[in-house]
Structure 1
Amino acid sequence: MAQFLDTTAVSHELTQLIKKADEKLYLISPYLQIATALKDLIRERDSRKIDIRVVYGKQDKLNPEDLSFLQELSSVKVSFCENLHAKCYLNESTAIITSMNLYQYSQQNNREMGIKVDKATDTELYNEIVAESRRIIQTSTEPQFIVKKKIPEPSTPQMQKKPSSQSGFCIRCKTTIPLDPSHPLCSTCYQSWANYSDPTYREKHCHVCGKSSQTSYAKPICYDCFKKMTK
């Protein structure tokens, strides 16, 4: 059952949600002004190489220092969604829908409320929140102001560096989607996959070439394409 959160509880549960993120962390908020304590938590999660997505919606209200901070982290992908009004924060086990922006002033001065949803007790509702969050992420764009990441290049191939304008394929149904090996499913198939969230579940197609291949969410590219991309 969803849990109601008052102002204090929203801030506390958001902190816990970030602390406990071991696989993914989605932070969706029109306004960004990140408190120092939350920056420290996000930086610590980034060091664990989890999938961190931050979506904002107000270019004119954006603090350049916050954007620079996020873009310098190696595991964080920042994007802009025009007309964004939703505020949603989630990890692999918990989601929070709230009136509170990821904005320091809101946390310290505003009266806020929200609900907390746990995947273990409200699986269907949690999955619906994840699916809608993924749709927001997929329709968002890279910010105009981009900072070069300071983290050294890892030894493993950086598939994510493929231009976002290129097309790929859903590894389950072969629908054409943006080329992004970290999200190789279309929105419809992702909703089905999210019911179990098994990154090793065997899929049918290569995300790059679309040919029949034994792939998975964790390894969405066939061997031939993998070799070409790592040359």
Structure 2
Amino acid sequence: MVEFLNTEGASYKLNQLIKNADHEIILISPFLKINQKIKDLIENQDRKRTTDIKIIYGKNELQPDENNWIKQLVSVRLAFCKDLHAKCYLSEKEAIITSMNLYEYSQVNNYEMGIYASKDDDPSLYQEVYNEAMDIFRISDELKITIEKVESKADKKVEPKVEPKQKHVSAKMNDNKTKTETGFCVRCQDQIKLDPMYPYCKKCFTSWNKYKNEEYKEKYCHICGKPTESSKIKPICYNCYKKHKNDFNFPL
């Protein structure tokens, strides 16, 4: 059952959503200016190292404080969506669609409205909201944050520098082996970012998304790119799974 939220209700439900999440949080808001209470809740989740936190924003107004804060979080994935106007907040079991932004002024001074849905009470509605949120994340540019300190005569300023995250680079594993961040679309074999949770290129994902059959048989392994019987829910071959089962998150 959908629940109507006023300003106070939206603020309370958002805090509870972040606090009670078990393994996934998605925060979609045009303005990346987060109030201290929500920052504290996100930091608590980040310390667990078990929660995937995605933050999507749409206005290029990152302040130094926000950059420094995000930089020290391990579990946060930041993405920029140029035409974003939606405000939507999800965990793996709850969803809020609202007019309220993440900064304190909205939650204290504005008159906001929204709706709340839980996966248990309305799984169909929750899934629609979740799918749309993930579509927005997939078409967004995932970013990494670096900080440049610039000194002036008057004082020291911190200027944020936002760079697109490189899609085809190498990263070192703990055992000094090298793994690549280049993967393959399980349907067309085009090179894409390596992420077993999202094993399609944009074109093939659009096609798959029409029916959303996670067991639909695909043609290639997402990690090695070799022909194999794969699917959205099992995107890699058995050999790659044995080799990388501790390196990535997998659908199953």
Instruction: Settle same-fold status: TM greater than 0.5.
Output: yes
Q: What's the counterpart of residue 55 of structure 1?
A: 56
Q: What's the counterpart of residue 106 of structure 2?
A: 106
Structure 1 unmatched runs, 5+: 195-200
For 1:160 and 1:79, locate their aligned partners in 2 and report how far apart those are by CA, in whole Å.
Answer: 23
Q: What's the counterpart of residue 207 of structure 1?
A: 222
Counterpart mapping for 1:76-155 below 5 A:
76-143=76-143, 145-146=145-146, 155=174
Please identify, of 31-40 and 96-105, the stretch whose mean Cα deviation from structure 2 is larger.
31-40
| 1:135-157 residue CA offsets vs partner (Å, 9 max, x unmatched) | 11011113475359xxxx98489
For 1:157 and 1:88, locate their aligned partners in 2 and report how far apart those are by CA, in whole Å.
Answer: 40
**More strand by percentage:** 2
Letter in structure 2 aligned against 1:168: F
Q: What's the counterpart of residue 29 of structure 1?
A: 29
Contact 1:159 1:181 in 2 (8 A): no
Distance 1:226 1:158, change over 3 A: farther
Distance 1:30 1:158, change over 3 A: farther
Contact 1:5 1:115 in 2 (8 A): yes
How far apart are 1:118 and its partner, in Å?
0.7
Identity across the alignment (%): 35
Q: What's the counterpart of residue 223 of structure 1?
A: 239
Higher relative contact order (CA 8 A, sep 6+): 1
Q: Which has the larger radius of gyration?
A: 2
**Aligned pairs, number:** 213
Structure 2 unmatched runs, 5+: 149-171, 248-252
- For the residue of structure 2 that corresponds to 1:46, the secondary structure is helix
How far apart are 1:54 and its partner, in Å?
0.2
The answer to whether the aligner puts 1:181 opposite 2:182 as a matched pair is no
Contact 2:35 2:103 in 1 (8 A): yes
How far apart are 1:41 and its partner, in Å?
0.8
Distance 1:158 1:118, change over 3 A: farther
Distance 1:160 1:99, change over 3 A: farther
For 1:123 and 1:22, locate their aligned partners in 2 and report how far apart those are by CA, in whole Å.
Answer: 17
For 1:22 and 1:158, locate their aligned partners in 2 and report how far apart those are by CA, in whole Å.
Answer: 31
For 2:177 and 2:15, locate their aligned partners in 1 and report how far apart those are by CA, in whole Å.
Answer: 30
| 1:150-191 residue CA offsets vs partner (Å, 9 max, x unmatched) | xxx9848999972xxx55214xx4574732315324445467
Cα RMSD (Å): 3.5
Q: What's the counterpart of residue 197 of structure 1?
A: none
Contact 1:7 1:113 in 2 (8 A): yes
Q: What's the counterpart of residue 198 of structure 1?
A: none
For 1:23 and 1:179, locate their aligned partners in 2 and report how far apart those are by CA, in whole Å.
Answer: 22
For 1:146 and 1:46, locate their aligned partners in 2 and report how far apart those are by CA, in whole Å.
Answer: 19
- For the residue of structure 2 that corresponds to 1:47, the secondary structure is helix
For 1:95 and 1:206, locate their aligned partners in 2 and report how far apart those are by CA, in whole Å.
Answer: 32
Distance 1:22 1:68, change over 3 A: same
TM-score by length of 1: 0.76
Letter in structure 2 aligned against 1:223: N
Contact 2:95 2:118 in 1 (8 A): yes
For 1:130 and 1:223, locate their aligned partners in 2 and report how far apart those are by CA, in whole Å.
Answer: 31
Contact 2:196 2:235 in 1 (8 A): no
Letter in structure 1 aligned against 2:212: S
Q: 1:192 aligns with which of 189, 207, 212?
A: 212
Q: What's the counterpart of residue 168 of structure 1?
A: 184
How far apart are 1:127 and its partner, in Å?
0.7
For 1:38 and 1:185, locate their aligned partners in 2 and report how far apart those are by CA, in whole Å.
Answer: 31
TM-score by length of 2: 0.71
Letter in structure 1 aligned against 2:53: I
